[in-house]
Every structure is written in structure tokens, then in C-alpha cells.
Amino acid sequence: MIAVLCGGVGAAKMLGGLVQVVDESEITAIVNTGDDTVMHGLAICPDLDTITYTLSGSVNPETGWGLTGESWQAMGALERLGGSDRTWFRLGDRDIGTHLYRTGRLAEGASLSEVTAEIAAAFGLRLALVPVSDDPIRTVLTLPSGAELAFQEYFVKLRHDVVVESVRYEGAARARPGPQVIEVLESADLVVIAPSNPVVSIGPILAVPGVTAVLERRRRDVVAVSPIVGGVALKGPADRLLVELGGEASADGVARYLAPWIGTLVIDELDAGLASLVADAGVRAVVAETVMSTPDRARNLAHTVLGSLGSPGQPRESSSQREPG
Amino acid sequence: MIAVLCGGVGAAKMLGGLVQVVDESEITAIVNTGDDTVMHGLAICPDLDTITYTLSGSVNPETGWGLTGESWQAMGALERLGGSDRTWFRLGDRDIGTHLYRTGRLAEGASLSEVTAEIAAAFGLRLALVPVSDDPIRTVLTLPSGAELAFQEYFVKLRHDVVVESVRYEGAARARPGPQVIEVLESADLVVIAPSNPVVSIGPILAVPGVTAVLERRRRDVVAVSPIVGGVALKGPADRLLVELGGEASADGVARYLAPWIGTLVIDELDAGLASLVADAGVRAVVAETVMSTPDRARNLAHTVLGSLGSPGQPRESSSQREPG
């Protein structure tokens, strides 16, 4: 059994690699909910949906989020009514179907874990997809002016193009871990931290009571993949956030940030020269090609991640997502 | 100034006639909110939207509700997730844009009156479109078994094909009339009760404290159009509801139902023989062609309604909605 701590796009790619080398049912994805929001009355869980859409092959390959072949009638109507101030967070028509379902089920009293499992099953996923908590967690960013931004305002509306002074995970301190989160972390053969933003994607997961205690205890079984390659984030603001919050935008900066909870960090070949600095942080460095630009590369990275501790689970070859050549 | 008490489809047609003979800005439509519901988290106001869509020429002419040229991607996605049990209340993609806007504005603290005015203006309406109250009113139907149905479950899901024992308007007794409702009813030259279901469309309006008091006082200035023609409702379950609740499905049954509040009832030519029974109820009968199957017929009926008390406002001819021939 493998547990994977997940943000959105980077984690979805990592999971897409892992399902090529271990049976999907052996994987539990424990997902960040700090990005979640209620917009126009709809309960929106960007990271959960990105993983569901990606693993089911329905994701829009150009954006990495949302559905492929999407239409935008609702957004067009909303924009005519309220202007672009209401439509900066783009919700496609089919994607809205997901949010309608989730919002309706939550209103009926279902937990986010239950709804997430229902949606994942309807999309044909066989892994366990679980939110880190059923209680609301909201990532809030504070600017030097003291102004506070909800995560999606920061990330989407302002395209993370502002200086951040601090980050907090509202609700996390009193959030209960999801039904199987602690149990899975304790019993998994391996815990993988996906190459997601350490601050705003992995941070909220670590902030849920009980999570870091298990990781500290099992530190040798925890392997992370650096989302920073050559000093820059492959996607999003991880690089500048690490710097703004007093860390460093480098593979060794990631190692120092995650050191209390990881025994191994997979860093990119581009950063091979930083391996000794990673080791100085008390973290074993494994050098590999980490940029998952194709399903084959994602599979290769998954092999590396699993092999970094001796492969748990039953490796299997799958040609379903393999590219020719 | 003309005040019109409105349900959905029948009222929208009546308003479509009135705007052909008086300037639209002279009209205030006071609309039933007992049909309103929250579905999948979205605030839905069927009667308000039917009027907005109809008067703006955007209504689906085949159904009388929803938008013309609509797409159904969100419903398709929702059905794949939750089955037909979640999609019996059909929400088109563009229509969802309206509900997203309304739900978002209400969550921001706007009143239903404010949001309704914003939507009406965006659709180009010039009349005043006002919900009877900004406080929630919910029409609930009780079956002989004692089971209770929310209005849309009764009307749409069960296609009103069940026996009803009683109807109540939840929340109405403590609902405050909308900001200008009482003032408009008091100052209007004429109050029109549209040919809407007297029980479930007009009933909730009458149940809001203060409304019947004004109508009783101004009874001679109130004219209704019978929604029952030849003993049957032109649309919906008005005929059987009137019978099930102890009244009669006839023009004179409508007269007796509304007698405390109307001085005049416009009845269809088909029911000319019932005029003396209407008079027996203490209501003046005006016989006219009431079936608004074309914009011309709606305009003629509007002329009759206005003329029934001597036409207030400035009659005007408009060819914009007139059909050829």
C-alpha cells in the first residue's frame, strides 16, 4: 500500500505515473483541501477534481485542470449579468455538473470523503481518493499591507503576482483527519509527497492534527519529489513563496523545508550538484529525471520513487498510457 | 401605474400583453416566491425568471420556461454522477448562469429584490419586477397520507399527478412584504391579478401580511383574469387543486375564491354563461377572449383588463411583438 500526499496538477501527474507501476487499488491519495472554496454557492474542490479528471483521462490537457471538450455557456451568461469580476474563476458547463453534485450531496449531509469517493467511482477511478479532512480548511495569504486573500483570489484572480508575507491554514488546527487518513499513513509501506507546492498544497495537509506525528515517526519511509527544478517551480508560485516565507527556492531549500518529515528527496538531474546540500539537511537525495512531460517520464519517476526505498507493492508494466517509441 | 400580481407562465404572457398597451415603466410586477427553491446549492426563482426570460424574448417558446437555444452539459454531467434522481428539475447551462449570479449576490448580502432588479435590468426589462417578499416563502403541499411535498417536487418531479389535501405557505405569515409592495398596491391606478394558479401562485402573495388588507380596501380597483377556461386550467393543476381544496374548477369558482379581494373578473367567452354566477359571488364579470395564444391576443386581453375599469396610463400601440396577419 502506498499513501500519496497530494496537491493538484503535479500530484495528478505523479499518480498517473504510479498507477502504471502498481495496481491502482494499492494507492491512497490524501489530498489538500486548503484550495477549496464556495463560489456562487457551489462547493469547489480544485485539487480533488484535478486528480479525478486527470486519472480518468478527462482533464483538459492544455490547462491541466478542468475537463476536455468543455463548453462555457454558464460563464458567458454569468458574465453578461455580473461582468468579468464574477467569472475570473472559470467553471465549464460539464465541470459545473461535478460541483452541483458535490454541493447537493453535502447539503444532504454527506461528508466530503463520501462525496469524493462517489465522484471518483463515477469517473472510474480505483484508487482511494480522500480529502485530508472533512472539516473545512482554507488557505489564507497575508500581504505586507495586512490585507488577506483567500487562496483562489491569490492564485487565480491575481495570478499569484503579489508579495506574500505569511500563510495560514484556517480551520486546520481544529480539523479532524479524514476517516482513514491517519490509519493509512501508519500502515502504508511508503508515503510519497508529490511534487506539489510545499507551502500551499502540502502545508495544509501537514497542518491537520496527527499528520506530522506519523510522518516524523515514519520519516525513513517518506519520500518527496522536489517541485523545484533548477531553482524554479514547474508550475505556480512555489519558488517565490518559499523565498517570501524565509526559505529558499532550490531543491535543498525544499529538503530543509520538509526535513522533519521526509527521509528521501528525489531531485532533478539538473540539480544533481545540490545532492550534498540535501544530505546536509539530513535528507537522502535521489537524482532522477523529475519533469513529467510525458506519461513515460511519469512512469519512470514512479519507478524511481518506489525504488528509492525498495519497491513496495507489486510492480507491473502497463502499456495503456505508454507513448510510442 | 399598474400593479400585477404574478405567478409564472400565465403572468408572463399577461405582462407581454400589458407592455404592448402601456409603457413598460408604468408596470410593477409583484411576483410569487412560493415556488422558489435551493437546488444543488443554487437559489432558483422560477416565476421571476420565467417573467424575465419571457419579456426579454429569451424564453424557450416550446416550454414557456427556461432559455431558448439552451444547452444541457451540466445536467448531462450531473446525471452521469447522480442519476436521473438529481436531474428531474432541468437547469440549462445558460440558465445556470442566472442562478450562479443570484446565489452569489445573495451570499454577499444583497436582498432578493436587489438581485431581481439587477437581473431584470441586465435582460433589458424596464418594468419593476419585485418578489412579493425578500424573506423566504415555501409552498408546501400535504397529501392525504400526511406526507409533505415541496412545491417543485409536487409540480415538476411528480408532474402534479397526486391528490393534495392541503396547501400551506411556509414562512409567509412572518414574511415582510418587499420594499415597495404595499406602497405600490396602495398607489396603483389598477391592480391586476394575472391568470395564474389562484392556490399556489397567487395564494403565497395573498398570504404575505398586509397584502389582503390593501386589496380588500381597494377591491373595486382590482381585476383578475380567470386561469380556468371551460372548467380546465390552461396550464398546471389549478383546476384539480381548486376542487381538492374544497372549491370548484370553474370561472365562478375562481370568482368565489378571490371574491374578498377583486371587484372584477375577466372570464373567457367560453364561460359567458357563467357570468351571472360570477355576479352572484359579488364580482363583476367581463367576458373576453382570454387564451393568450399569440402576442396579439395577449394585447387584446390587456386592453380589456385596462378598459374594465377605464384605462389608466397612456395606451400605446406597439408592433414589436405583433404577429403578421
With a cut of 80, say whether residue B133 has pLDDT above it: yes
Q: Which one of B91, B95, B107 has the shortest CB-CB distance to A41?
A: B107
In chain A, the residue whose alpha carbon lies closest to the alpha carbon of B101 is A78
Quick one: pLDDT band at residue A325, thresholds 50, 70, 90? Answer: very low
Is any Cβ of chain B less than 8 angstroms from the Cβ of A117? no
CB A41 to CB B86 under 8 A?
A: no
Q: Which one of A82, A98, A119 has the shortest CB-CB distance to B101?
A: A82
Q: Is B30 helix (H, G, I), strand (E, B) or coil?
A: strand
Is any Cβ of chain B less than 8 angstroms from the Cβ of A260? no
With a cut of 60, say whether residue B319 has pLDDT above it: no
Lowest mean pLDDT among A244-253, B41-50, B213-222, B280-289: A244-253
Specify the pLDDT at position A234.
Answer: 86
Specify the pLDDT at position B324.
Answer: 39
Place of cell 453578461: A80
Give the distance from residue B72's alpha carbon to the nearest chain A alpha carbon, in angstroms.
8
CB B100 to CB A73 under 8 A?
A: no
Specify the pLDDT at position B165.
Answer: 95
Dist. CA A297–CA B216, nearest whole Å? 79
In chain B, the residue whose alpha carbon lies closest to the alpha carbon of A102 is B40
The 10s digit of each residue's pLDDT in B17-27 is 999 999 999 99
Q: Which one of A41, A94, A104 has the shortest CB-CB distance to B104?
A: A41
B181-200: average pLDDT? 97
With a cut of 80, say whether residue B325 has pLDDT above it: no
B218-234: average pLDDT? 96
The 10s digit of each residue's pLDDT in A292-308 is 999 999 999 999 999 98
With a cut of 50, say whether residue B50 has pLDDT above it: yes
Is any Cβ of chain B less than 8 angstroms from the Cβ of A78? yes
Is any Cβ of chain A less than 8 angstroms from the Cβ of B75? yes
Q: How many residues does chain A have?
A: 325
The ipTM (two decimal places) reads: 0.90
Q: Tell me how far apart the 2 most distant CA atoms of chain A are, in Å.
A: 57
Closest CA to B262 of B199, B317, B219: B219
Specify the pLDDT at position B52.
Answer: 98
Percent of chain B with pLDDT over 90: 91
Pairing state between β B166-170 and B138-142: antiparallel
Q: Which one of B40, B101, B118 has the shortest CB-CB distance to A78?
A: B101
Dist. CA B205–CA B182, nearest whole Å? 11
Quick one: pLDDT band at residue B119, thresholds 50, 70, 90? Answer: very high
DSSP string, A55-121: HTT-B-TTTSSSBTT---HHHHHHHHHH-GGG-SS---HHHHHHHHHHHHHHHTT--HHHHHHHHHH
Q: Which one of A78, A98, A104 has the shortest CB-CB distance to B97?
A: A78
Q: Which of B96, B115, B123 is the mutation pick for testing A, counting most A CBs within 10 A?
A: B96
With a cut of 50, say whether residue B241 has pLDDT above it: yes
Q: Regarding predicted confidence, which is higher, A315 or B129?
A: B129
Dist. CA A18–CA B320, nearest whole Å? 64
With a cut of 80, say whether residue A224 has pLDDT above it: yes
Buried b (16+ CB within 10 A) or exposed e, A204-233: bbbbbeebeebbeebbebbbbbbbbbeeeb
Is any Cβ of chain B less than 8 angstroms from the Cβ of A114? no
The 10s digit of each residue's pLDDT in B57-83 is 999 988 889 999 999 999 999 999 999
Which residue segments constitute the domains of chain A, with CATH numbers given? Answer: 2-58+123-307 (3.40.50.10680)
Percent of chain B with pLDDT over 70: 95
Quick one: pLDDT band at residue A311, thresholds 50, 70, 90? Answer: very low
Q: HEC profile for A38-55?
A: EECCEEECHHHHHHHHHH
CB A93 to CB B104 under 8 A?
A: no
Q: Is A269 helix (H, G, I), strand (E, B) or coil?
A: helix
Long-range contacts of A295-300 (CB under 8 A, 24+ apart): A295/A16, A295/A17, A295/A20, A295/A321, A295/A322, A295/A323, A296/A322, A296/A323, A297/A17, A298/A13, A298/A14, A298/A16, A298/A17, A298/A20, A299/A17, A299/A20, A299/A21, A300/A17
CB B40 to CB A86 under 8 A?
A: no
Q: Which one of B78, B101, B122 has the shortest CB-CB distance to A100?
A: B78
Residues 84-103 (A) with a CB less than 8 A from some CB of B: 86, 91-98, 100-101, 103
Is any Cβ of chain A less than 8 angstroms from the Cβ of B39? yes
Specify the pLDDT at position A323.
Answer: 39
Dist. CA A1–CA A313, nearest whole Å? 6
The 10s digit of each residue's pLDDT in B202-217 is 999 999 999 999 999 9
With a cut of 50, say whether residue B113 has pLDDT above it: yes
Specify the pLDDT at position A63.
Answer: 87
A69-76: average pLDDT? 96
Q: Are A190 and A36 in contact (CB under 8 A)?
A: no
Quick one: pLDDT band at residue B234, thresholds 50, 70, 90? Answer: confident
Specify the pLDDT at position B323.
Answer: 39
Quick one: pLDDT band at residue B120, thresholds 50, 70, 90? Answer: very high
C-alpha cell at B195: 391568470
Number of H-type helices and E-type strands within chain B: 13, 14
Specify the pLDDT at position A62.
Answer: 87
Is any Cβ of chain B less than 8 angstroms from the Cβ of A25? no
CB A94 to CB B73 under 8 A?
A: yes
- What contacts B17, CB < 8 A, 6 or more positions away? B292, B295, B297, B298, B299, B300, B301, B302
Q: Are A185 and A218 in contact (CB under 8 A)?
A: yes
CB A41 to CB B74 under 8 A?
A: no
With a cut of 80, say whether residue B322 has pLDDT above it: no
Quick one: pLDDT band at residue B317, thresholds 50, 70, 90? Answer: very low
With a cut of 60, say whether residue B315 has pLDDT above it: no
In chain B, the residue whose alpha carbon lies closest to the alpha carbon of A69 is B73
Dist. CA B317–CA B125, nearest whole Å? 18
Q: Which of B36, B100, B105 is the mutation pick for testing A, counting most A CBs within 10 A?
A: B100
C-alpha cell at B172: 409567509
The 10s digit of each residue's pLDDT in B272-308 is 999 999 999 999 999 999 999 999 999 999 999 999 8
Count of beta carbons in the 10 Å neighbourhood of residue B38: 17
DSSP state of B171: T
With a cut of 70, say whether residue B321 has pLDDT above it: no
Alpha-carbon dihedral B248, B252, B256, B258, rounded to 10 degrees: 100
With a cut of 50, say whether residue A324 has pLDDT above it: no
Number of H-type helices and E-type strands within chain A: 13, 14
Give the distance from residue A32's alpha carbon to the nearest chain B alpha carbon, in angstroms.
22
Specify the pLDDT at position A309.
Answer: 75
Specify the pLDDT at position A316.
Answer: 36
Specify the pLDDT at position B313.
Answer: 40
Closest CA to B10 of B278, B272, B293: B293
Quick one: pLDDT band at residue B246, thresholds 50, 70, 90? Answer: confident
Is any Cβ of chain A less than 8 angstroms from the Cβ of B74? yes
Chain A contact set for B103 (CB, 8 A): 40-42
Give the distance from residue B49's alpha carbon to the nearest chain A alpha carbon, in angstroms.
13
Q: Which one of A80, A81, A107 has the shortest CB-CB distance to B41?
A: A107
Written as one letter, the residue type at A285 is: A
Give the distance from residue B30's alpha carbon to the nearest chain A alpha carbon, in angstroms.
22
Q: Which of A75, A87, A93 is the mutation pick for testing B, counting most B CBs within 10 A?
A: A93
The 10s digit of each residue's pLDDT in B30-44 is 999 999 999 999 999
Quick one: pLDDT band at residue B88, thresholds 50, 70, 90? Answer: very high
Q: Is B323 helix (H, G, I), strand (E, B) or coil?
A: coil
Specify the pLDDT at position B312.
Answer: 41
In chain B, the residue whose alpha carbon lies closest to the alpha carbon of A104 is B40
CB B98 to CB A77 under 8 A?
A: yes
